[in-house]
Structure 1
Amino acid sequence: MSPDRHLNIVTTFADLGIDQDIIDALASKGIVDAFPIQEQTIPLGLPGQDIIGQAKTGTGKTFGFGIPVVQRLGLNPEHGVKALIVVPTRELAVQVYEDIDLLTSNRSTSVVAIYGGKAYEGQIDQLKAGAQIVVGTPGRLIDLAGQRLLDLSNATEVVLDEADKMLDLGFLADIEKIFQKVPAVRHTQLFSATMPGPIVALARRFMSNPIHIRATDPDEGLTQANIKHLVYRAHSMDKDEIIARILQAEGRGKTVIFTRTKRAAQRLVDELGDRGFNVGGVHGDMGQDQRERSMAAFKAGKRDVLVATDVAARGIDVDDVTHVINHTIPDEDKTYLHRAGRTGRAGKTGIAVTFVDWEDLHKWALINRALEFGQPEPVEIYSSSPQLFEDLDIPAGTKGRLVTAPKAEKPARAPRAERAADVAAEGTAEGGTRRRRRRRGSEAVGSTFVEGSASDSTEYPAPAADRSAEGAGTHDGAGKEHHDGKPAPARRRRRRRGAGGAGAAPVTGA
């Protein structure tokens, strides 16, 4: 949104007919001016008009639907669920819960977040205590409703947030089940950044004469104008070094790095941490509590780099993210928009850097065409390329390791591994080989004393008399247990000779 346009329109929440206690709650966080989607949806949502709100991520959709929901419930709503907000991911559930909790901070309304990965007991206790607003993911909502622990029969305010993502994640059937549990007469709002055909069909089925509001600036293209997009073709072995140098760019604030897999995310967390960066992760291999702690540390500024998979893309609502880095290119243009939308929020500028592997050039071609970038061929870049330093304002001479970072001790493991390999190759007694040598030695211990050999007696110093005594053992060379009729010492000696060469002459006697 351009500054001139911003000055020529109604911008404050006080001008939109919002209750004073909600205005005060927002002002306590320094939130005074409304974004276009809020200015257009709040006046319609307050009297109960069904709305389809479409605006790019990071433009304030949560307050756009949250303020009408909170205000319509009144200052002191009765106990029991009166409003339901459905979101696709756990991270977004936490984010929306925090925003709605802020809006209700000056009234008695209680909010509860219902999502998987957390214990049922605390969520059930809040429902039993009379929470009026529920923010939840489809799976856990249906689970609790099926157990009759969540009663949605009085939820007259219903919101679907990020409806396109719920469609992508296969939640359409779950959404239909949820709508069967809420009242037929209700106020329904559907918000999304993109509006594919199935979402429009969903709106027609479950909404009553909705008004479709699409909030954009006249000069805005498919991507936000305040985000600088840089697309590079980089070698996979050089990416970590490039990223580490980008993280030392002038003016870099909080940074989100997206990977395709959870394994790649954790590997990058470990690598950047070793290089001295203050980094956290959010991915599917982490427990829900770990993910929430990592996200909270990032929002609070305790960590300034967050490595995440797409599961977190819509739950990172942080105004001061300056850089988004796509370690691997997303599969489609919608995912690209949501990743890049983590920066340039609240009217600020941002930078989105995308790495395209050689085998993923076809994916970039599709995204480039869909988003009208006009850059069919990504620029080939290396960690030492002058263009990288120029594009991202990286100080000359920057290396991929912070000066204060301790040197990694990981290489110390290599010599041990090499020694183990040498030991195994040479047949010396060390580690696991030692145990095998002992077993072999114990089998031949009788023969060494009968033959007078000292090779094994140093490791197994048993007296020869003990071995020759009656009942000393079945492999002392004197028993008839050896069905081939040959004494044990000669037999074992033949095996050793045979191991020394294929042409060794057979031994016929002791």
Structure 2
Amino acid sequence: MSSAKRRKLSPAAEVQDESPDSETVEGSVVDSAPKTFKDLGIVDTLVEACHSLGYKNPTPIQAQSIPLALQNRDLIGLAETGSGKTAAFVLPILQALLEKPSPFFGLILAPTRELAAQIGQSVDALGASISVRCAVIVGGLDMVPQAIALSKKPHIVVATPGRLLDHLEKTKGFKLSNTKYLVIDEADRLLDMDFGPILDKLLKFLPRERRTFLFSATMSSKVESLQRASLRDPLRVSISSNKYQTVSTLQQYYLFIPHMHKDTYLIFLVASEFTGRSTIIFTRTVYETQRVAIFLRYLGFGAIPLHGQLSQSARLGALNKFKSGSRDILVATDVAARGLDIPKVDVVINYDLPQDSKTYIHRVGRTARAGNAGQALSLVTQYDLEIYQRIEAALGKKLGEYETSKEEVMVFKPRVEEAQRHSRNEMKNLMDDRGNKGSVLRGRHTGKGGKRRHDAMDAEEG
């Protein structure tokens, strides 16, 4: 950050010292929500950056948490994905950085490579006018270019935990002993992915005198333990309501079908019902994600897979093609269910039902965002009834049945059978090419007691 820019953009007088008219009640903040970012205490330069990005008014989590973060306090923010929490923690850090710039000023931890890249883009965009340097450190990429980026002493590091620990232990001269701000984003997901021990190690590399912001969709016992280990006397903001609530603009349906006809019904839906619409198809395993994408492409659909066993460049490439509209169907594991900012998704199809209701909420929350309408349709077979009933019970309502004509659906059967043979052969060739690594594509690992663990590896940061 150049000294000329600092002199121009970081006078302490620009920061509003008066705390907002608020009241802390049992850890929740109650106030009259400000209407502008300037009302929250954000300096003019960053307010202009918000406006240039189309952030017209603060979201509830921003309105509640930013004034508290500017009070130099630790903070817990409970808010769902898509609530605008990235700006809620990035803006206070950038404002503090303006007052006293230094290398490695802030560290932001995220559970997946894609979310880390997305946060890094937000830091770059919001901090462009003040010359902020940001490094994104994730698994799946060469460590040498990352070490070079760290040697340039960025102001903010956005990282996945495993790769960050690798650099702290192996990259000469890299340390975080002067870091002023730590953000732990999607804390519940980090802990669900068994990053707890790595987080414990990372905390030992950080100074005790720092500000810590912890953001999570839920407050589990694991998150509470992490809070006690990493935060001091925190303020708490909760924007979450019913954790199983979906937005009113989302239309949700189920389609009860025989398991043997899943592919035929899927083709009927994408070819006849949702043709030309931006669609995410969720599957349970890496194997099925890859197979369904091959299956759809054979039949002429612009489908692209996204799962945790792709290279980082392939994962980002798939996301960018889907976001830009050059591909209108994204076939994905739950690596795409949460945290990613995909602005316009018309339809979500649960080809496979998720194993728990919370994941269902995150999946269908990919559509009907920012006040837009959207549709979610779940394929339910005779093997899925128990899972489906649990989802309905969590939602507190019965979903409507999506009406179809079996005769119209079965018209597609001959072409579907041909495409199934092709996709099976392609998958066999793919696994043969990869040798022993092919077993990973099945999306199944053997865990304790010999039980199969389907999806943990899908979202790994590598």
Separation in 1, partners of 2:269, 2:74 = 45
SS in 2 for 1:13: coil
Separation in 2, partners of 1:257, 1:340 = 10
Aligned pair partner of 1:355 in 379, 385, 400: 379
Structure 1 residues 82 and 294: alpha-carbon distance in aligned structure 2, compared to 1, 3 A threshold = same
Shift in Å at residue 245 of structure 1?
A: 3.5
Which residue is 2:142 aligned to?
119
Decide whether the 8 Å contact of 1:245 with 1:383 is kept in 2: no
2:405 aligned with 1:384: yes
5 Å matches for 1:18-417?
18-74=42-98, 77-78=101-102, 80-149=103-172, 150-216=174-240, 222-247=245-270, 248-249=272-273, 253-374=277-398, 379=401, 384=405
Give the paired residue count: 389
* Residue type at the aligned position of 2:118: Q
Q: Which runs of 4+ in 1 moved over 6 A?
A: 396-399, 407-411
Separation in 2, partners of 1:236, 1:332 = 20
Shift in Å at residue 251 of structure 1?
A: 9.0
**Which one has a bigger Cα radius of gyration?**
1
1:220-273 deviation digits (Å, cap 9, x = unpaired): 963333322222322333323333343354696422111111110011111111
* Residue type at the aligned position of 2:264: E
SS in 1 for 2:288: helix
SS in 2 for 1:155: coil
TM-score for both structures, normalised by structure 1: 0.70
* Residue type at the aligned position of 2:353: I
SS in 2 for 1:123: helix
Decide whether the 8 Å contact of 1:241 with 1:383 is kept in 2: no
Separation in 2, partners of 1:398, 1:103 = 52
1:260-308 deviation digits (Å, cap 9, x = unpaired): 1111001111111122221211113322211111111112222121111
1:157-186 deviation digits (Å, cap 9, x = unpaired): 011111111111111111111111111011
* Residue type at the aligned position of 1:235: P
Shift in Å at residue 26 of structure 1?
A: 2.7
Structure 1 residues 185 and 197: alpha-carbon distance in aligned structure 2, compared to 1, 3 A threshold = same
TM-score for both structures, normalised by structure 2: 0.77
SS in 1 for 2:39: helix
Shift in Å at residue 399 of structure 1?
A: 7.3
Decide whether the 8 Å contact of 1:242 with 1:382 is kept in 2: no
Quick check: 136-145 or 94-103, which moved more?
A: 94-103
SS in 1 for 2:359: helix
Name stretches of at least 5 consecutive residues in structure 1 with no aligned partner.
1-7, 387-395, 402-406, 415-510
Structure 1 residues 408 and 316: alpha-carbon distance in aligned structure 2, compared to 1, 3 A threshold = same
**% same residue:** 37
2:33 aligned with 1:12: no
Shift in Å at residue 10 of structure 1?
A: 3.4
Decide whether the 8 Å contact of 1:282 with 1:308 is kept in 2: yes
SS in 2 for 1:188: strand
Q: 1 or 2 for the larger relative contact order (CA 8 Å, sep ≥6)?
A: 2
Quick check: 252-261 or 179-188, which moved more?
A: 252-261
Structure 1 residues 409 and 348: alpha-carbon distance in aligned structure 2, compared to 1, 3 A threshold = closer
SS in 1 for 2:284: coil
Separation in 2, partners of 1:126, 1:174 = 22
Shift in Å at residue 116 of structure 1?
A: 0.5
SS in 2 for 1:358: coil
Separation in 2, partners of 1:154, 1:9 = 34
